[in-house]
Each structure stands twice: as C-alpha cells, then as structure tokens.
Chain A
Amino acid sequence: MNSEDESISMFSGIAGIARRDLLLAWKRPGDVLNPLFFFAMVAALFPLAVGPSPEQLKFSGPAVLWVAALLSMLLSLNSLFLSDYEDGSLDQMLVSPVPLSALALGKSLSHWLTSGLPLVLFSPIVAITFQMPFSVTGYLMLTLLLGTISLSLLGSVGAALTVGLHRGTALLSLLILPLAMPILIFGARTVSLVASGDGVAGGLYFLAAYAVLTLSFAPFATAAALRISNE
C-alpha cells in the first residue's frame, strides 16, 4: 500500500464513520434530543428557582448556561463507543487498515455535529430566559462553539477508556472534568466579561487554542485507549 492510498483511505474512513453515525442519529433522534432537552430544562428551571430579579439573572446567566452545556455534553459522551462495543463494530474498526485515530476523529466529528452544534444553535433561545442582550448572545455562541469542540474531543478519550466498564459514567466524569475545567472557566468568564463591557480577546484565544490542542492529540489518545480497553 503506498502513501497515496493510505491518505485516501484515511479521509474516507473519517467521512465514512461520521456519515454512518449521523445516519444512526437520524434514525434514532432521541439520542440527540435527550441532552438538548436536559440543557433546556436546566436553563429554564434555574430562573424559576432564583426569582425574577433581572439583575441576578443577567449576572448568573453565563455561568448557568455554561454548566448546563458542559453537563449535557457529558451526558451524551457516555454512549459514544458503547453501542459499537456491544454489537462488535468496534472490533471490526480495530482490525481495519484505516488508522484507528482517523476513525476516532470521525466519531468525535459526528458527536460534535449531533450534540455540540445543536447546543450552540439552541443556546440563543435559552439565553432569552436570562435576559441576555443580543450582543452578548453572539459571544455565548462563539464560546460554546469552541468549547464544545474541545469537549467532544476530550470526551472521546474518556469514553474510550471506560468503554469496557459497566456503569462507567461516574468514572468518565471524573476523568474528563479536570481537563474540562479550563474550558468552563474561560467560557463562562468570557461571556460575563462581554456582558460587563470588558475586552474578551484573551478568553477566545484560549478557547481556540484549547480546541486546536485537543484536536491534535485527542484522536491518537482515543485510539490508544480503545486498544487498551478492548483487550
């Protein structure tokens, strides 16, 4: 096999698995809608509990929305490799000539498209309940866009490590949350800063850098983790 063949099979592997997972999501919309519903519920219930004071809502809005988004991403991560593990497709991927890291990247891509992107698109509607101005909503979407990319990629590593374990949800959260903390801190804080009229370039640069960092190492870590946990 020459190098040209390999690159073709690598890209076709990424595209192939992403397309298959999107098709599966289309046939089972519940898997996509559940985390989104969770996000909407948390964000809608919070204002009811806090009370109608606009000041308080504006102040806590970015933090609540970001925590809800983070937890909703975690919710969907648990099943990332589970069905592939159970029906044997994972074994077939492991013995494929396509590099496993390419397949892992494809899985992360489809996971982001089905859980991260819907959150980003849905967040302006939820932000209304926190009386967030339009100018701030744009930044909320931008930070969520960068943050969810990192979370999908980071999460795939954790999901791969815990795939062989029953009830690995708690462990998955323990593995992922420390690495996700910077995303939460910078994401929520950046939106708060916009709301108070401060400069935000630093936060956005950090989130973008974090996304690029995870993009460059997560697929390889996921591939290694899959080989270990599938022994």
Chain B
Amino acid sequence: MTAQLSADALTLFRGERCLFQGLSFALKPGELLLLEGRNGTGKTSLMRAIAGLIEFEDGDIHWEGKPVRLNRQAFYGSLVWMQHRVGFKADLNLVENLKFEAHLRTQSGEDFEEVLKRLDIDRLKRLPLRSLSAGQQRRVALARMLLSRVPLWLMDEPFTNLDREGRALVMNLTTEHLERGGMCIMAAHQDVEIGGNVQKIVLQ
C-alpha cells in the first residue's frame, strides 16, 4: 500500500534557529506517527507546518501523492487538528460550539449524543465553556475530532489536563481510529500505549 501522507527532506527555521533539517516520513492508513522531544524542540512548529500555517524552508508534504501546497483545500478537508488552545468560544456552550464546527468541516453521521456520552460531557451541554474545567474543555475538543469524518488526526499534546480515565480514553479512541484505517500524528511527552503500527520521530 502506498503512503497517504509523505514528507521529503523537510527543513524548518524559526527565526535564525534551524529546528530540523532533512526530515522525512511516510504514513500509511492505520499508522501512528509519534513526535517526541524535549520542550522547545519544535514539535508544535512541525505540527503547525504540516497544517500549512508555517512555511517549510525546504521540502514538501504530499497528500495522496499530490503536493499539499497546491491542494490545500482538499488536504484541509481530510484533517482535524487538536492544538494546545482548544479553539472554542468560552461564552458559548458546547452544543453551540460544535454546531459551528459543522460549518467548518463535514461531520460524520455519528450520533452526537453518543459521542458526548462516550466522552462523559453529556451533562455539561447547557454550560458556557468558560465554566468547564480545562480537562473538560479538552474532552470537547476530542468531540470535535470524533464528529469529523476525516482520515488524518493531528494531536498536539492530547493528554494535557486530562485525568487517568481521560488519557486512557484518548488512547482507546486513537487505536479505534487507526483500526478504521485512519492516520494520526501525535506529539506527546508521556508514554503512549497505542496498538498497531507506530513510527517515532525524536526531535533534538
């Protein structure tokens, strides 16, 4: 099977500093790419650059064999991104926030109520997001990932603020996503127990 997502000889600078040079990887359906490295080694920058928010100094990302630079919209149609900041409005409740998400990217037919129940946030529907704890807000961000029907998940430190059950939940959800033929790029500090095909990149 050919790679869905491939990167050739990526080089990224932030200011004057070179974060990495000649970085290559290829991701097939069902595979997980784990980004490791100490703080400030460029995991988030790499993630942002893959998402097209920062330009690589050199090198190209290909999605389904086509360079992403020329097919941005199609690439964005196939990814969902979980970042540090959850990207929701604190004044709106989670239903209003997730409803807006449906305008940004196609959502699966997966049952809304089911997803909320699984993430244990179905009791919080009426509350504005600012009154939710940080961990609960991360769970709403997970709901965004589950509701969107896309093959590529970008997860930047998905375990932050989550309790033990929450961390286990993230691993289970990711494993299921990979079993369905999805792909995931994850930056994490913790040990990750996810079955299946795992590649590692350690940023220095």
Binding site for B on A (CB under 8 A): 1, 6, 9, 12-13, 15-17, 19-20, 23-24, 27-28, 83, 86-89, 91-99, 227, 230-231
Interface of B is mostly: loop
B151 in the interface (beta carbon within 8 A): no
B residues less than 8 Å from A230 (CB atoms): 53
Q: Given the complex, which residues of A lie within 8 Å of B77, measured CB to CB?
A: 1, 97
B91 engages A16 (CB within 8 Å):
no
Whether B103 and A27, one on each chain, are in contact in the complex, defined by CB atoms closer than 8 angstroms, is no
A87-B88, A91-B85, A92-B87 known, 16 other contacts, Cβ within 8 Å: A1-B77, A12-B103, A16-B103, A20-B100, A27-B91, A83-B89, A87-B87, A91-B51, A91-B81, A91-B83, A92-B104, A93-B104, A95-B51, A95-B76, A97-B76, A98-B104
Q: Let me know if A24 and B89 touch, CB within 8 A.
A: yes
| Residues in chain A near residue B92, CB distance under 8 A | 20, 23-24, 27
Closest-by-CB residue of B relative to A230 is: B53
Query: Given A1-B74, A16-B104, A97-B76 in contact, is the A89-B89 Cβ separation under 8 Å?
Result: yes
Given contacts A13-B103, A23-B96, A97-B77, contact A231 B89 (CB under 8 A): no
Task: Give the interface SS of chain A, mostly helix, strand, loop or mixed.
Answer: helix
Can you list, as one digit per residue, whether each of B71-99 has a CB less than 8 Å from chain A (1) or not (0)?
A: 00110110101011111111110001000
Measured in the bound complex, the distance between the Cα atoms of B81 and A13 in whole Å is 18
CA distance in complex: A91, B103 (Å): 15
Please name the residue on chain A nearest to B85 by beta carbon.
A88
| Interchain nearest-CB distance for A102 vs B (Å) | 10
A61, B106: Cα distance in complex, Å: 51
Q: Could you jot down 28 A-B contacts, CB within 8 Å?
A: A1-B74, A9-B106, A13-B104, A16-B103, A16-B104, A19-B100, A27-B92, A87-B88, A88-B83, A88-B84, A91-B53, A91-B83, A91-B85, A91-B87, A92-B87, A92-B101, A93-B104, A94-B52, A95-B51, A95-B53, A96-B104, A97-B77, A97-B106, A98-B103, A98-B104, A99-B73, A231-B54, A231-B55
Least Cβ–Cβ distance between B30 and chain A, in angstroms: 23
- In the bound complex, residues from chain B placing their C-beta under 8 Å from that of A19 are 100
B102 at interface (Cβ–Cβ under 8 A)? yes
Known interface pairs A87-B88, A89-B87; A95-B103 also in contact (CB < 8 Å): no
Bound complex: CA of A178 vs CA of B117, how far in Å? Answer: 54
Q: Cα distance A9–B101 when bound, in Å?
A: 12
Does B105 make an interface contact (CB < 8 A)?
Answer: yes
Chain B interfacial positions (CB closer than 8 Å to A): 51-55, 73-74, 76-77, 79, 81, 83-92, 96, 100-106, 128
**What residues on B are CB-neighbors of A23 within 8 Å?**
92, 96
A83: chain B residues at CB < 8 Å are: 89
Closest chain A residue, CB of each to CB of B97: A20
Q: Taking the nearest CB of chain B, how far is it from the CB of A214, in angstroms? A: 24
Residues of B within 8 A of A15 (CB): 103
A69–B80 Cα distance when bound, in Å, is 41
B87 to A17, Cβ gap below 8 A? no
Residues from chain A with Cβ under 8 Å of B106 in the complex: 9, 97
Distance between Cα atoms of A89 and B79 in the complex (Å)? 16
Chain A residues, Cβ within 8 Å of B52:
94-95
Residues of B within 8 A of A16 (CB): 100, 102-104
Q: List the B side residues contacting A91 at CB < 8 Å.
A: 51, 53, 81, 83, 85, 87
Q: For residue B49, which residue of chain A has the nearest CB?
A: A231
In the complex, which residues of chain B have a beta carbon less than 8 angstroms from the beta carbon of A24?
Answer: 89, 91-92
Which single residue of chain B is at the shortest CB-CB distance from A13?
B103
**A6, A83, A95, A96: residue with the most chain B Cβ atoms closer than 10 Å:** A95
Closest to A6 in B: B73
Roughly how many angstroms separate A89 CA and B100 CA in the complex, as a whole number? 11
CB contacts (< 8 Å) of A13 on chain B: these are 103-104
A16 to B52 CA separation, bound complex (whole angstroms):
23
CA distance A167 to B100 in the complex (A): 29
How many angstroms between the C-alpha atoms of A20 and B74 in the bound complex? Answer: 25
A192–chain B nearest beta-carbon distance, Å: 42
